[in-house]
Amino acid sequence: MEDILQQIVLVDTQLMLDINSLHSAFFDGFMWGYTKVSVWLPFYVALVLFLYRNMSRKQMLWALVCVALTILICDQAASHLIRPIVQRLRPANLANPINEWVHIVNGYRGGRYSFPSAHASNTFGLAIFLIYLFRIRLLNTLMLLWALLNCYSRIYLGVHYPGDILAGFFLGFLAASFAYWVYTRLCKDQSLSIPLHYLWLPLGVWLLTTVALLGYALFVDF
């Protein structure tokens, strides 16, 4: 069993190094911006407005409570429960022997431990909860693409292994599933207006933010 675990770790490490090695000055800037939580504040506001336009006040209140519950579970479980137990060093951490082969951007090495990825659990937790809530193909695709690019940026920046991302996904899935179960208990009336109004708002904000990050990447020089 120990040999199998060591082999998994070796494959995970090599995969991280392979992905991390595919870098350029342009994508350094793009991934550096894409991974920032603050960059996505307008997107979060757009999602709240989308909820407001398509849900009753009661539905929206409990949906926001359950989104907060999802993020709370993901963040606390990843950062304060699992990481101190597993104690897997981030790839770029100076105490990690592989750090000299890891490409980093703007001197960023993240915190000390990496497993699981809180970025992955939080973004996938939010995405999966909204997928449960609306079950609209276009919105589902948007949320999954947004979450996947966020997760890819963490490997690109050298602060997470693919295994960290995978574990974060499962944590986000479990948290979102539990939170949605809570939502169905608190809000019996789950019917939403069809067709959905203002779907263009989160789509447009995501697109504008992504385009702005692409423009930023053309001019930034680390």
Whether residue 91 has a cis bond before it, omega within 30° of 0 = no
Report whether pLDDT(191) > 70. no
Whole-model pTM: value is 0.93
CA distance 41 to 43: 5
* pLDDT tens-digit map of 21-79: 999 999 999 999 999 999 999 999 999 999 999 888 889 999 999 999 999 999 999 99
Q: What is the mean pLDDT of residues 125-137?
A: 93
What's the mean pLDDT when you consider all of the chain? 93
Supply the pLDDT for residue 189: 66
Read off the pLDDT band of 121 (50, 70, 90): very high
Q: What is the mean pLDDT of residues 83-95?
A: 95
CA distance 163 to 177: 21
